[in-house]
Structures are given as structure tokens and as C-alpha cells.
Structure 1
Amino acid sequence: MPLIVTLLLGISGGLANLLPFFFLDSSEFLFGQLFVLLSLVLFGWRYALLCAAIGAAFIFYRWGHSWPSVVFVLEVIWLQVLCVKKGKPFFIRGLGFWLVIGLPILLIFGYYLLSLPNLVIVTALAKYFINAALYLAIVDLLSFFFVRHLWRAQPLNAILNYTISLLIVLVVLITSIVLTNNSYSRIEHEVKEQLQGAAKNISVQLSDYLKGYRRAVVSVANNVEQGFERGAALRTLVELQPDLRTAISTDSKGIIGAFYPDVFENNRMDESLSVVDRDYFVQAPFYPNGYISPILEGRGFGRDLIIAISAPIFKEGQFDGIVEASLIFDSFARFRPNILVNSGDLIILDNTNQVVYSSLASSYKVLDILPADILEAWHDESNSTYTDLQGKVLYRYARKIEGLNWTVVTLLEGHHVRLAAASAWGKSLLLALVIIILSSIFVSQLSRYLVKPIAALSEDINHFEPSSMLRNSAGEQASCLEVITLQQHFNQLAFKLTMNFSKLQLANSENEELNKKLTNFNRELEQQVNEKTEELLAAVAAANNANKAKSRFLANMSHEIRTPMNGIIGLTGILVEQKKGDEETLKQLEIVHTSAQNLLLILNDILDYSKIEAGALALDLHATDVFKLFDTIATLFEQVGLKKQVKFEYQLSSKLPSCLLVDSLRVNQIVNNLLNNAGKFTEEGTVSLLVDYQNNHLIVKVKDTGIGISRNQQKLLFNEFTQLDVSTTRRYGGTGLGLTISKRLSELMGGKLEVESVKGEGSCFTLKIPAQVAELSAHTGPSINTPDLSNASVLIVEDNMVNQIVLAKAMQDTRCILHKTMDGVEALTFLKDHSVDIVLMDCQMPNMDGYECTKHIRKEPNIYGKPYIIAITANAYSEDRLKCLQVGMDNFVAKPIEKSFLYKALGEALSEIKRA
């Protein structure tokens, strides 16, 4: 975060350096250092140097160099050492840096490296000092809000004196800058007005001056036409016009026939008397009112520069020569203007843009033909200044002379304007310093006057004693309404405290007595709470022990009941499958088998309820073939759960997807329970199973036309171990857990189980559970094909003879080589001497159980081999299966043993053996 803020500050500072805030004419303020110092205050000198580097890039972009940034970097280091580390404000120490280090370095840069004029350097140094004063004052004022620890615990009068003084400095400096720039603008405007007026006057004077000489030459030509002697006429012209140097008269062929003065003949540079090549001769016939030539080099007196003024001579309408007079070049100096009590400069251009006269001889020489860009710059009305070839800044104004197409340019060097502005600025700066000093003195005295009563009040509060009367020393010095009000409130508070002090002492003695009684009461209460806590802890421990005992009892009962049930279900199943005996006997065996399975269902209900109550029942959501699931449920119910006088209706909605993500085991358990109840309580009529799918929910409705349930009985319907009445229990039987478990399972799946019933008419149970549509994956149920274990050695490890018989009977059709042991010790002994492919391992046995036996086998495969171990256990919980797999067993078959699951496990074992 500091880096991002620093980058933003650096960019803001760089943009501030590009803002066109000028001091006088061309010295820009650099307010970007304000953002650098803010970065220094907020984040430290490293970030401030990064910010300064970004600002230096913008300065380089604008000026082509960034020498001031060197001073700005040194300022950051100076302020870090003398201000930040010592927790001091920037203003005084910052100005000290500029006086001692900053301004001398900038003086060296400006004089030696940049070769600036002295006035520009002085202006720039003043600008940098004012610039520093502005941003240092602003940073100190902002630090009062952003870096408050600098001002914490400082005297109020010092804070008021410093902050108000800074505000005054800011206001005075900004006002001084604005007034100085306004004064400079007024001076510039005055200079422009004077240059414009001078150019206009010079244009008029020069036009009149040249036209006067042209009229004189035309008059002489007219006299010659009237018959005057040419030499005498020329002498009269030169003598009457002092700025004329020579005069000549020619015939129609350009041959000089007369001239004045006589020395012209001796000083003539060209022996030829012909001027037929001269512009003033060629153009004269076309200008009967006189022709003024561009500047040219004369031939009579060396190569002096002259302006020729000629007029044609006509006799009887025929051209008969010319009269020409040469105007002295130095005569134009008289037109040089005075601007701001200073001598201005003047440049005169002829109609060919040649320099006729220039007071700036070092930059513009006579006869120079000025290029178009300079002429365009002089005539550019959007900019009143111009920089000449020597680098001087000049204020200029150019004006055309009407009728001659000459140009007059009036100029004034820029340093004259800066000197005038600097003089005004010096006075305003001196006035600003006087205002700042006087204001600081006033603010210092004012802050002391305002803070003094507050300090006195603080002293009174510090020495206030409730037991004695208050001496009001602050009230004598109170100056303003707020302080007086504060003093009055304090006096009122002090009076109330004094009055209440005696009451408080009395109350303290009463409180001491009450505290003693409260201490005794708390001690007795603590003792009673401790006794009750110990009783509650003992009760909780007893309840936990009871729950653990119940869980152990249910687990043991599950194992103990499943063990004989395994024998009953297994042997009766084998007998039924063999179909030996008469039909009566087989029917009785089927009844025994079915009864045993019903008993197993009751046992499962008890175990499921126990797991639900303990919060240990986990759902197994998987893609389920819904059609197959409900077809199986309906088929089974129609075969075994339906009475003869009852009709069964089964309907699947067209909206029902073929595959849903549900726990098929729990859905099967709930629906079977509902169907069994419907079949049990319906003597005649109809039992319906309706399956639908709406709004991502599976909806199953079981309707019957049985005995129905009253409203009062419906309230108790889902309570555990509850049946509607004793007669129902005697007539229909049941544990009273079926609907309770179904209700809990539906809620566990995020759904609900509801009932609608009318006594004597029937009931409708609705199961609604959330179920997402899924894709049906290939799934193969338990295979009932008998695996071929020919030549495979199988070891049964089982301590119960009945279970051994059941397993042996089930294994007969596999054609395996079968061995039997009674516990884990015998199994290990057998495995030392025999190679076994498959072990059917009981988990709970005397001497050594199946878990320990499996650990030994897996730990020492060189001794016991690597048989495929299938757990055969009456512990049917999923955690029991996980425990079997963790100790090294390969598969799991729960008791009572069903052939399909046993054969499936044997088939998987056979596949594993073949791969090995």
C-alpha cells in the first residue's frame, strides 16, 4: 500500500511540476516537492526519494535537464535527519537548508552550467526560496491532520502561534506573488502599448521624412523640365536638404550629365558615367511622383550605403532622364524610440525586407535580407516577445509604412521589463516581510492571551481538593465567553463534588459493612455452586458412561444375535434352495427363513436408531437407477407384503428421471417401511405407491385405505418406541421404531416425511427429499454365479460350529479344498505348514481374534504366505468394515451370510489370485 500511494504522489508531483505557474516572466514554480515531502512524512525517506525521482523525470521532460532535483534530494535527506528523526516541523529548518545549501548550489548550476544572465539567476533563486516557503508551510499544516504525533503533548499556545503564523505566511506570500505577477503584467502591457505607439509614430515620421525628400526631388525634376540649369538645380537641392549626400541628373540613356557636389567626380568608384543598370533609373519613368529605392551601395563616395530617391524628366511627353538624390543612411538614428525611460531599439526594413537601419547591429546588419520565419515571428500578434540570434528576449512590435511597403520594428530588451518588475517585487517582498513579522508578534501575544486562562483553569483542576473550597484563579484571567462558561461549569462541578464528598464518605462506611456481608454471601454461594457443579459433572459422567454402555451393549447384542441368526438364515436358505422334502416342510422352512429375516430387520432398525441418535449415521449418495429401485420395491411388496383382499397400485410419473443422486439403501428402507405399514394395517381396499419428481425433489406417496389415524394419534406417530394403542401392538406387532427411523432418515437427507390421515378411511404418507439428476453408470450387482475354486485352498477361521457348517455348506458348490480352524492361533499354526489361497476370517474369537491374526499374517508373509483374506463378521457397521480393511483384510461379508455377497467376494478373490 505505501508503494502504490508513493507512486501516485510521485505522478501527482510530476504533473504539478508541469503546471504553468510562473514567477515574473519565465521562472516556473515547482510545486511537485510538496508531494515528495508528504511521502517523507507518511512513509519515510526511501519512499520520498522514489517520489523525488519520479518528479525529476517530469522536470527533465519539461526543461531538458533536472538539476533542481539534486537540491530537492538533498532537502529530503536534510529534513529526514533534522526534522523527521527528531519529531520537529519542517518550515524553519527547511528554509535554513535553502539558505545554507540549496540556493548556493542553484547559483552554481545557473551561473556555471547553464550560463544564465545574472538577473535571471537572481529571479530564479528568489522563486525557489518562495517556492520552498510555500510547500514547507503547507506540509507542516497538513501534518497536523496526517501525522498528529508530531503535535501531541505540545503547548496549545505554541500550536496556535505556529499554525496561524504559517497561514499568514502562506496568505502573504501568495498575495505577494499574485501582486508581483500582476505588476509584471501591467509593465508588460505598458511596454507593448509604448512599442506599438512608437512604431506608429515612427512609421508616420519616416513616411513624412521620405515623402518630403521625394517631393523635393520631384520638384527639381519639374524645374529641369521648365528649363532650369541642371547643375544649379542639383546644388540647390543638396544644400537645402542636409541629409542628402549627392545628387545627379542623367539623360534618357542613363548617362550622368550633371552632379553635385563636384568632388563626386573625383571619388567616383566606377569610371563609367552610366546608371542605366540602377534600379532607381529603371523604375523612375513609372513613378512620376518619385521613386524611393531599396537600400544599396553607392558609387560616388566608396561603398557607402544609401537610399536613392529619383524622379523622371519628361520633355514634350518624352522621357529625357532622371534626377536622383542619395539619402544618408545615418539619418534614421533619430527615430530610435524611448521605452520605460530606456532607449529602445529600432529596425527598418525596405520593401524587399532588407535591413535599412538596425540599432541591433550585432544581430541584424544593414543589407541583411531577413528570412520568412523571423518576419512571421515579428508579425505574430499572439506573442509579444522574440528571442534574437544572441539569445536575448526582446519585446517587439512591427508595423508597415503605408504607401512605401516598408516595415518599422520597435524593440525593447526583456531585462528592462524584469528590472522594473523586480523593483516593484522587491518593494512588495519587503512589505510582506514586515507584515509577516508584525503578524507573528501579534499572533504570539494573542495565543498567549487566549491560552493563559485555560492553563490557569488546568492548574486549578490539578490542585483541586474536594475537601476544601476552590480558589478561582482562572476566573480572574478569563478572556472569552467559552473560557468563562468553562470556568463556571467547573465551579459548579467542584461545588457538587465538595457537597457530595461528605456523603461519599458516609456511603463508604456503609459500603464497607455491605461488602463484608456480600463477601460472606459470595463465599457461601461459591460453595453451593461448587457442590452443584460436582453433582452435574457426576451426572454427565454417568450419562456418558450409560451411553457408552448402551453402545457397547447394542454392538454386543448385534454380534450375539447375528451369530445364531447366521445359522438359522444360512441353513434354512440352503434347505430351501435344495428343495428337499415335501411341500409342507419347504413351506415351513420358508416361514422360518422369512421370520429370521424379519427378526434381522428389527435388529437393523434398533441399530439404525442407535446410530441416528448418536449422529454417526452417514449417507451414501450415488447415482441410482430409480426405475429399477422402485420396481424392485414394488415387486417385493406385492409378493410378500400384500394381503389377499388388498389391491396394489404402482405408478411412476413421466417427469421422473431415470437416474438420481440419492442414498438408495435409505430410500429403500423408508419406502419399504411405509409399504409394510400400509400392507399391515389394510385389511381390504387399495395400497398405492406413487413416485414423482418436481423442483429437483423426489416425491414418494404411499396411500392406503386401512384403519387410518386420528389427529391426536398423529401427534405421537413419529415418537420413538411409540405405537398408537395396545390393541394395535397385540394385533400387528412391531417395535415402534420404523416411522421414527424413517422420519429421522428423511430429515438427514434434507427432506421431510409427512402424513395425512382420517380415522377409519386410510392414510397417505409423503416422502419428499432433494435429489439432483445424475447419469447412470455401469453397475453390476452382487453375482449369484457360483465361482469355480477348483484346486484352490480355502481356510475357514471360525469359533462357532454352526457358522462353520453354514460356511461349509455355502462353499460346497465352489469345489474348493476346504480347511477349518477354531481361532487365530490355530489359523497361524496351520498357515505355517500349509499354503492357503483364501481365508474366511471371523473377527471375534477366543485366544486370538481375526484382527490380530490378520496383522500377524501381513507382518510375516514369508512364514504365513499372502492369502486373500475375507472378513466374516457379525459387526455390520461401516466403521467395522473400515477397521477390517485397515488391519490388512481384503474384503468384507456381513453376517448373516447371503450367498450372493459371499460368492461375489470369492469371485473378486479369484480374480486377484489370477492377476498375482
Structure 2
Amino acid sequence: MPNYLHKYTPLLVTLLLGTLGGGANLLPFFFLDASEFLFGQLFVLLCLVLFGWKYACLAVALGGCFIFYRWGHSWPSVVYLLEIVWLQVFCVSRGKPFFARGLGFWLAVGLPILLLFGYYLLELPNLVIATALAKYFINAALYLAITDLLSFFFIRHLWRAHPLSSILNYTVSLLIVLVVLITSIVLTNNSYRRIEFEVQEQLHTSANNISEQLDDYLQSYRRAVVGAAKSVELGLDEDAVIKSLVDLQPDLKTAIFADQNGRVSAFYPSVFNSNAVSEVVSVIDRDYFVQAPYYPDGYISSIFKGRSFGSDLIIAISAPIFDAEQFKGIVEGSLLFGSFSRFQPNILAHKGDIVLLDNDNKVVFSSLGESFNTLDVVDSEVLASWLDNQLVSYTTSSGDVYYRHAVKVEGLNWTVVTLLEGHIIRLAAASAWLKSLLLALVIIVLSSFFVSQLSRFLVKPIKALSEDINRFEPSTMLKNSAGEEVSCLEVITLQQHFNQLAFKLTMSFSKLQLANNENEELNKKLTNFNRELEQQVNEKTEELLEAVASANNANKAKSRFLANMSHEIRTPMNGIIGLTGILIEQKKGDEETLKQLDIVHTSAKSLLLILNDILDYSKIEAGALTLDLHPTDILKMFDTLASFFKQAGLKDNVEFEYQLSAQLPPCLLVDSLRVTQIVNNLLNNAGKFTEQGKITLKVEYDNGTLMVSVQDTGIGITQKQQQQLFKEFTQLDVSTTRRYGGTGLGLTISKCLASLMDGDLVVQSQEGEGSCFTLTIPASIAELPIEIEQKGTQLNLSGVSVLLVEDNMVNQIVVSKALQSTQCNLNKAMDGVEALAFLQEHHVDIVLMDCQMPNMDGYECTEHIRKQPDVYGKPYIIAITANAYNEDRLKCLQVGMDSFVAKPIDKELLFRAMQQYKVY
């Protein structure tokens, strides 16, 4: 996985779990009627366990968005957020399980807050609030138990080092709690649905019964009025007929006879005549008169207030009177409704309510009080919802919820609605749920006690076995203390295997004890032997220390010898090389004399090369040789090497070929002195061992590597000889040394120098056919430095004051002769003391300073000059010394000298050093 994905994994998983939790909050898991479970908090607690409280708060926020989408508010999210803080402080930070402490939060904090929200902010009914609080508590118990169980199976480090009995007891108890609670919820919801179904059935039955009773009641009066009309048609007296009608039908309060013009000609009782005769003389405008001709079987009007009945409600029942199919009038009876409260059904030991509507949807009777007043016309939408029996509940304008059932009265088009308050069903379901919850608690307590005893029973033999292992002593036979308590096959098998192992260990211990006794005897002998051996080792160590001290002294003596040899030999060599060189340049003497001088000059330089090889080898052996990498004119360096070798190193019958690659850069960063030294050694060897044929110098450059090969057609080297070729002081054989000479250090030093430059020197050769030596070293491209003066240019130091500080007269002569052509003002001093005295009195531009002198050496003299420039001036100081080591050069520069020239003095190098004075 890429690093950036690994970094954001907790955030991505939190977003996923938060979204899943929000989706779980939208699932329709109901408790009782409409209180929904919120299982999304389970995913939030998983975030808390996996990633910490910050990510859990993010998951709560995501779940709250889903709750707001569904309910229009997200007040529960506030409690869930506080729950995260509580669990972080009391559970996560202390490594405790969630269940008990989580329920403690809900009892102490969560439920009181939700009670305040429901009562004051949402203004919910008390029963709804109580149901919701129970739901939240059960909801919390479920997801807390599930979280602890999941943490046991998937985050096991939280349970590490806990007793097995407590783990068994806790996990099994949680499983029992989950099973019992889920079963209780399912049974409670099923009970609630069953109660709902029974209520609907009873409401339906009651509505049908009331419809049938109402229809029978009104139809009996309709038939009586129709019979009275038929009696009048037969010619009976109208007064007698309507009197008989009222007397025989107790709920008919009045009866009248009206002719075809609507004029009332007969009425009963007489009270009606005395109170209303002046007002009711015609009923032509009444609905029961207008509709009567069209209803020969009788017409039942809507409910209305009669003119002579005050606020009482009546229903008019009329029947037409025909004579030879001609309408002659009506007989009408006014039915005064009494209370319909006797029709209210009894459901779940509570009295239900009814609403009775006539054919104009006006309220005839309502037990709901002010919700529906008599003669109010019920809205068509409300009536339609009542008649839609797919909807089981109805909510009034005041927010009261009723379960209802509505039927139409056949033949009358009236509507009967039976209702029961919803809280009665919830109370019945809550009562059943409390009983099941009490039973569940009893089951949980008994189950927990049983599980506790079972876990102890199962763990007890394991503890006993552990105690046996703990107190097991291999020297004594084991007494089984757990055998009587073992009850399961696995523990029995484990006990048997342990007994077998204990027996084997006891036997092995006995054997070991015998062996130990034997070892003690051997140890005593070994101790004595070690004591003697230690004494011998100490003696040998002392001898080795003495040998090492002797070797170190020898190395120091060798170093001192080499240093002294370098200085003492270079001093006379300076005189020989310097004076012979001057004589050769001046060309004084005959040709034979000049040739002899040239031989002396060349021999001295050869001797100097041998000396340099010995010194280089000693520095390599001591690990003190350092490189001086600097930009080098490669073309010029190899041209000089090739030119010198062509002039001095070739024999008469040998041809020399010089090849430069076109890819060779003009300037490389190398140690030119060491590269020249290696190539010179290779060329000299080739010239020495090649009597005839060809010698080839080939220089190439590729990918930052300089490759130099020297190939000859000389005597060649056998495979056996190649194995010894690069060893110090080694040549091919004794005859080679006698014939060709040499110290045997050249190739050894060249190989070491190549390795020091991170390169290599290899050879390919066959005896009698010649050899090819190849040098490879890393070399980066550089820029050529600007030379102040080219070789061969005459140095002009006219008017420049030069002080030569040198105790050796020969060296004074050599330097004096070399500087004659520069026209400088040369003065001399024998040591540092004389030099300081001269500098106090005279201005000096350049000081040529020897380093090793009596009285005061060059180092001390230079320090005095640099410390007191006001006294001695600021001359340009050039060290001229026989100490040719690089560390000698660094020491000269550290004390304040400006340049360095080694003895024997090379005139060209001396002039270059003095030329720097002009830049200084």
C-alpha cells in the first residue's frame, strides 16, 4: 500500500463506518408502535476502539446527519457524543470493557438528558417519552454488548492477561443478555401487533353491531310512519292515526298530517299545537315534505334542530299519501335522539368512543367531546381517511392518537366510527413488555450465576494444573492435585501429558544429577588446568607484549632512519644534481666532459628515484600516504611522459607508439604526481624488458574512468610469476635481477597507488610474447588552471630582495647559481637567528627558508616573522627542505610559509614558486 493511503486509512475507514452507521439509523427497527432503534452507534464505538475518540466524534457527526434527515432533529447525537467522551475516559484509557460502564452512563447522564429533550423541547406525551427512554436503554445495552464481543474476537490485545474464568463469564453473559433482550424485543413487538390486531377486530365488530342496531332502530320507525300513511289512505281519521302512531312509538315526540300544499291539518300531541300552531302552519319548505313523494317506503331526513324542540336534535321520518296515484299529503313523525353512549364498546377493559354521521356527514353523536361537535360537518378528507380501513390509526387536531374503524349503515348512508385511544394499547403492550423484561432479568441473573459457576468449574482444574507445574520439582515425584477436579477430556489429556513429562523430567534429573557429580570432578581438574594454562598464557602474553614493544621501537627507529636518510641523502643530492645541471646548462668544457657530467646528473636522478620509491613504500606501509587531487592538463602530462621516455628509455631496436583517445578530456581531477609515477614505472619496465619490437602507450577515457595501458613485446611473464609480480622487493627471478637490475618496488608501489586512488592495475602476459599493464582510475572532468608563466620563460626578479636562509654551503652555492639569471638582490643567512637579525635591519621580498638548521630552525623562524610583521615585515616565504613528505609540506604551510620546494631543487619548480611572489 502506498504511504499516503496508509496515512489516511483511519480517516477512510471512519467515513465508511460512519456512513454505515447512518444507514443503520435509517433501518425500520421499531420498538412497540413507532419508537425506532438507532443501531448506528455500534459503528461509532468500533471507530472508538480502532482509531480513538477523535475519529469516533467524526462518525457521530455523520450518523447525526442521517438522524436529522429522518426525524428533522438530531438531539440524540448530543447524548451519543457525550457517551464517546465517557467511554474514552472510563473505558478506553483504562483498558476496561464497555458494557457495564456504558449502561452506567445512560442511567446517570444519557436518559436524564433525553427526558429533558423530550419533555421540554419536543413536548412529547409522557407515555411516548417513557417508551423512548426504554428503547434508548435497550438500544445501548445491545450495541455495547456487541462491541465488547467484537473486541474480544477482533481486538484481542484488550483482553490479554485477563483470567480465563472472567473472560468466559463475561462473554457468555453478554451473549445471554443479547439473546434475552432480542427475544424480549421480538416478543414485545409481536405482542403489540397482536394487541393491535385484537383492537382492530373489536372495533370492526363494534362498528358493525352499532350499524346494524342503528339501522334496525330507524327502520322500525320508518315502517311505523309508512303504516300510518297507509291508514290515512284507507280513510281513517288523520288525528286518530297520528295519535296512535305517537302512543305506540315511545321515541316519536310529535306527529303531523300535512296536505298536498304542505299545510298542517292534524298534529299530536296537543302541546305542539299550543306552542307552535302560529308558527308551523306549512311544512312545504321542509326536506321531509319535499322528498316524501319520491320515497313511497318512507324518507328519513338528516339530523336537524326542530322549531319547537329547543336545542334537541331530531330526525324527521315521513311517508307520502296517495289517492288514485295523486299526491295528497304526508304523515311525518319527529324522532328525538337520546344518548348513544350506550353503544360505546368496551375494549381492553377500557370504554371506547364512537362518532355517528348522517347522510350529509353531519355529526349525529360523538363521544370525543370538543373534537367533533353535534351538527358539525366532517371534512371529506377526514371521512375518507376514516373509511380507508388500511390505515389503523387517526390523530386528532390536538395530537391524540386513536385506533379506529368506520362502516356505512346500509340503506341510510350513515357512517359509524368506533375508536380507542392509542395510549391504551401502548399501556397494554408496555405491561406485557414489563412482565417479559422482569422475566428476562430473572433469566439473565440466573444464567449469569450458572455461567459463573460453570466457568469456575472449567477453570479450576486448569488452575490446579498450573499450580502443579509451578511447584514442580524434578528431584521429587509429582503428586497430582488436579485429578479429582478434572471433568473434561481436554484437561484430562493435558494432565496425563504433564504427568508423563514430569516423570521423564524426574528421571532425566536423576541422570543429570549423576552427570553433575561427574562434572564436578572434571571441573576441579579443569580448574587446576585452567590455572596452569592461565599462568602459561600470562607468560606468553608478556613475551608477546615485549615483542610488540620491540617491533614498535623498530618501526619508530625505521621511521627515524628513513626521515634522516631522506634529509641526509637529499642534501648532498641537491648539490650534485644542482651543480651538474648548472654546468650542463652553461656548457662549459669539452664534449667528453659534458657527457660525463650528464652521466653524473642522470645517475643522481636515478638514485633520487630509488630513494623516492623507498620513502613511498614506507609511507604506504604506514598508511600515511595521501593524495593531492588537482586539475591536471592530461594531454600535456602524457605528452611529457611520452617525450621523455622516447628520448631516454628506448633501446635501438624498439619502436614506440603513443595513442590518445579522441574522447580524452583536456583536463581531469587527478593526482598528477602519482599518475606520472605509475606510468613512468610501467614505461621504464617496458623499456627495460623489451629488446626489440614495439612499446605502445595508449590513453582512453570513458564514463568518468581514465584508462592507461602500456603494452610491450618483451620477455613476458608466466602465470606463476604473475602471482608474485606485485609483491614488494620481488622480481621474476635472480637472473632477471642480475641482468636488468631494480629494487622490486616499482610495481608494488604502482599497485598500491592505484588502489589508493580507488582504481586498479592489472596485467595480461604470456611468456615470450610480451605484457600489457592497464591502469584504471576514476577521474572527473575539470577546468584547466591559468598558468602565470609557461615553462622556459626567463624569470626576472630585478629589484627584488631575496634572503636565502641555509646552513649548508653547497646548497647556498646551488641556489645562488640558479638565481644568477633572475638579477635579484640575494642575501644569505646561516640559521634562523641570523635571518631574524637581517630582517630587522633590511626589507626583504622573498625568503628561501631551509627547515632544519642549528640554533633556530625554519619553522620557528617563520613563526616569529608571522607573529611580528611590524618588526620583520611580510616577506613571501618559500620552504626549501630535504623533508619531502606531504606532511612536511603541510607543516610548512601551517606555520606560515607560502610555498614549498623539495630538495634536490628543481630549478623550474623553484622559479614557479618565486613567480607566485608577484601574485602575493
Q: Is the 8 A contact 2:356 2:417 kept in 1?
A: yes
Equivalent residue, structure 1, for 2:71: none
Equivalent residue, structure 2, for 1:281: none
Equivalent residue, structure 1, for 2:725: 717
Shift of 1:798: 1.9
**Matched residue of 2:744: which SS?**
coil
Q: Which amino acid aligns with 1:546?
A: A
Is 1:814 aligned to residue 825 of structure 2?
no
Q: Is the 8 A contact 2:14 2:58 kept in 1?
A: yes
Are the structure 2 counterparts of residues 64 and 124 from structure 1 closer, same or farther at C-alpha, using a change threshold of 3 Å? closer
1:65-85 deviation line (CA, Å, top 9, x unaligned):
6552586378459837xx977
Are the structure 2 counterparts of residues 340 and 171 from structure 1 closer, same or farther at C-alpha, using a change threshold of 3 Å? farther
What is the distance in 2 between the residues matched to 1:438 and 1:687?
108
Question: 1:689 is matched with which residue: 691, 697, 715?
Answer: 697
**Matched residue of 2:819: which SS?**
helix
Is 1:163 aligned to residue 167 of structure 2?
yes
Are the structure 2 counterparts of residues 342 and 865 from structure 1 closer, same or farther at C-alpha, using a change threshold of 3 Å? farther
Q: Is the 8 A contact 2:207 2:418 kept in 1?
A: no
Q: Is the 8 A contact 1:180 1:421 kept in 2?
A: no
1:701-750 deviation line (CA, Å, top 9, x unaligned):
32222222233322222221111233332332222111122222233333
**Matched residue of 1:476: which SS?**
coil
Equivalent residue, structure 1, for 2:710: 702
Is 1:871 aligned to residue 905 of structure 2?
no
What is the distance in 1 between the residues matched to 2:609 and 2:584?
20
What are the residue-to-residue correspondences of 1:686-835 with 2, within 5 Å?
686-694=694-702, 697-771=705-779, 774=781, 776-780=783-787, 783-784=790-791, 785-835=793-843
Is 1:68 aligned to residue 85 of structure 2?
no
**Matched residue of 2:484: which SS?**
helix
Equivalent residue, structure 2, for 1:26: 35
What is the distance in 1 between the residues matched to 2:645 and 2:387?
114
Q: Is the 8 A contact 2:693 2:713 kept in 1?
A: yes
What are the residue-to-residue correspondences of 1:554-569 with 2, within 5 Å?
554-569=562-577
Equivalent residue, structure 2, for 1:316: none
Shift of 1:92: 5.1
Equivalent residue, structure 1, for 2:326: none
Equivalent residue, structure 1, for 2:613: 605
What is the distance in 2 between the residues matched to 1:612 and 1:372?
113
Q: Which amino acid aligns with 1:68?
A: V
Shift of 1:121: 3.2
Q: Which amino acid aligns with 1:780?
A: E
Q: Is the 8 A contact 1:268 1:301 kept in 2?
A: no
Is 1:483 aligned to residue 494 of structure 2?
no
What is the distance in 1 between the residues matched to 2:461 and 2:604?
102
Is 1:858 aligned to residue 862 of structure 2?
no
Deviates more, 1:558-567 or 1:193-202: 193-202
Report the TM-score when normalising by structure 2: 0.73
1:519-577 deviation line (CA, Å, top 9, x unaligned):
21121122222222223333333333333333333233222222222233333333333
Are the structure 2 counterparts of residues 415 and 731 from structure 1 closer, same or farther at C-alpha, using a change threshold of 3 Å? farther
What is the distance in 2 between the residues matched to 1:333 and 1:387?
22
Q: Is the 8 A contact 1:689 1:703 kept in 2?
A: yes
What is the distance in 1 between the residues matched to 2:800 and 2:307?
143
Question: 1:630 is matched with which residue: 638, 651, 654?
Answer: 638
What is the distance in 2 between the residues matched to 1:736 and 1:348?
136
Equivalent residue, structure 2, for 1:431: 439
Deviates more, 1:297-306 or 1:443-452: 297-306
What is the distance in 2 between the residues matched to 1:384 and 1:518?
102
Is 1:174 aligned to residue 178 of structure 2?
yes
Shift of 1:587: 3.9
Are the structure 2 counterparts of residues 635 and 294 from structure 1 closer, same or farther at C-alpha, using a change threshold of 3 Å? farther
Are the structure 2 counterparts of residues 350 and 564 from structure 1 closer, same or farther at C-alpha, using a change threshold of 3 Å? farther
Is 1:450 aligned to residue 461 of structure 2?
no
| C-alpha RMSD of the superposition | 6.5
**Matched residue of 1:607: which SS?**
helix
1:170-213 deviation line (CA, Å, top 9, x unaligned):
22332344334544665676689899999999999999999999
What is the distance in 2 between the residues matched to 1:447 and 1:771?
79
Shift of 1:454: 4.0
Shift of 1:397: 11
Q: Which amino acid aligns with 1:871?
A: A
Q: Is the 8 A contact 2:699 2:707 kept in 1?
A: yes
Equivalent residue, structure 2, for 1:531: 539
What is the distance in 2 between the residues matched to 1:775 and 1:69?
72
1:863-897 deviation line (CA, Å, top 9, x unaligned):
32332222222223332222222222222223333
Q: Which amino acid aligns with 2:560?
A: R
**Matched residue of 1:442: which SS?**
helix
Are the structure 2 counterparts of residues 148 and 183 from structure 1 closer, same or farther at C-alpha, using a change threshold of 3 Å? closer
What is the distance in 1 between the residues matched to 2:313 and 2:789?
129
Q: Is the 8 A contact 2:35 2:135 kept in 1?
A: no
Equivalent residue, structure 2, for 1:646: 654
Q: Is the 8 A contact 1:378 1:386 kept in 2?
A: no
Q: Is the 8 A contact 1:720 1:736 kept in 2?
A: yes
Q: Is the 8 A contact 2:173 2:451 kept in 1?
A: no
Question: 2:156 is matched with which residue: 114, 138, 145?
Answer: 145
Are the structure 2 counterparts of residues 690 and 853 from structure 1 closer, same or farther at C-alpha, using a change threshold of 3 Å? same
Deviates more, 1:504-513 or 1:185-194: 185-194
**Structure 1: segments with no counterpart, 5+ residues:** 221-227, 233-240, 247-254, 279-292, 309-325
Q: Is the 8 A contact 1:37 1:76 kept in 2?
A: no
Report the TM-score when normalising by structure 1: 0.74
Are the structure 2 counterparts of residues 517 and 603 from structure 1 closer, same or farther at C-alpha, using a change threshold of 3 Å? same
Q: Is the 8 A contact 1:12 1:32 kept in 2?
A: no
1:385-439 deviation line (CA, Å, top 9, x unaligned):
99886566788999999xxx99999998765564455344334323322222222
Shift of 1:136: 5.6
**Matched residue of 1:780: which SS?**
coil
What is the distance in 2 between the residues matched to 1:756 and 1:76?
81
Q: Which amino acid aligns with 1:797?
A: V
**Matched residue of 2:643: which SS?**
helix
What is the distance in 2 between the residues matched to 1:371 and 1:644?
137
Equivalent residue, structure 2, for 1:589: 597
Question: 2:578 is matched with which residue: 567, 570, 573?
Answer: 570
What is the distance in 2 between the residues matched to 1:267 and 1:581?
187
Q: Percent identity?
A: 62
What is the distance in 2 between the residues matched to 1:364 and 1:732?
140
Question: 1:79 is matched with which residue: 86, 90, 97?
Answer: 90
**Matched residue of 1:477: which SS?**
coil
What is the distance in 2 between the residues matched to 1:532 and 1:634?
57
1:232-261 deviation line (CA, Å, top 9, x unaligned):
9xxxxxxxx999999xxxxxxxx9999999
Is 1:120 aligned to residue 128 of structure 2?
yes
**Structure 2: segments with no counterpart, 5+ residues:** 1-6, 68-73, 226-232, 240-248, 255-260, 288-300, 317-333
Q: Which amino acid aligns with 1:757?
A: S
Q: Is the 8 A contact 1:38 1:139 kept in 2?
A: no
Q: Which amino acid aligns with 1:744?
A: C
What are the residue-to-residue correspondences of 1:266-415 with 2, within 5 Å?
415=423
What is the distance in 2 between the residues matched to 1:64 and 1:483?
53
Q: Which amino acid aligns with 1:813?
A: S
What is the distance in 1 between the residues matched to 2:688 and 2:377?
130
Are the structure 2 counterparts of residues 439 and 724 from structure 1 closer, same or farther at C-alpha, using a change threshold of 3 Å? same
Equivalent residue, structure 2, for 1:843: 851
Shift of 1:516: 1.9
